[in-house]
Every structure is written in C-alpha cells, then in structure tokens.
Structure 1
Amino acid sequence: MEKNTHEFVEEIHSKQKKDMKNKQHQGDNNPSKKLPNKQH
C-alpha cells in the first residue's frame, strides 16, 4: 500500500512538472505554436 501511494505521489509530481514546463513553453513561444498541439 505504501508503495502504491508513493508511486501515485511521484506520478502527480511528474505531472505537475510537465504542466509547469508546458506553461513556460507556451509563455515563451508564440501563441500560434499552441494551436497545432491542441489540434493533435
């Protein structure tokens, strides 16, 4: 049980890191670069 919880927490952390990276990229790049990603 502890292992599953730990894995779950790590998953959330990695997801948050990804979201932060995506937000940073969207802020740095042109807004038009965001559209192709949404279409896929």
Structure 2
Amino acid sequence: MDDTQSYLDKLHDTQRKDERNRRTQGKGKADQRLPGKQKSKDD
C-alpha cells in the first residue's frame, strides 16, 4: 500500500509541476509566453 501511495504522490507532484511549466511557457503559443531574460548591451 505504501508503494502505491508513494507512486500516486509522485505522479500528482509531477502533474502539478507540468501544469505550472505549461502555463509559464505559454503552451507553445509565442504571444502567451513569458519574456526571457535579455542582457542589454551598452557598448
């Protein structure tokens, strides 16, 4: 029983992380994607 519960906990954690990552990355839609860090060049 512990193995099953452990597996489900890990699965749900992975699903939560995946959903959060999909929201952050805009699910492949460039206009919904958060801007990346850009270094400004003051040369």
TM over 0.5: yes
Indicate the percent of aligned positions where both proteins have the same amino acid.
27
Higher share in helix: 1
Compute the RMSD of aligned alpha carbons: 1.2
TM-score (norm. length: structure 2): 0.62
State the AA in 2 paired with 1:12.
L
TM-score (norm. length: structure 1): 0.66
State the AA in 2 paired with 1:7.
S
State the AA in 2 paired with 1:26.
Q
- Note the residue ranges of structure 2 that are not aligned, 5 or more in a row: 27-32, 37-43
CA distance in structure 2 between the partners assigned to 1:17 and 1:23 by the alignment: 10
The match for 2:13 is 14
Q: Larger radius of gyration, structure 1 or 2?
A: 2
- Note the residue ranges of structure 1 that are not aligned, 5 or more in a row: 34-40
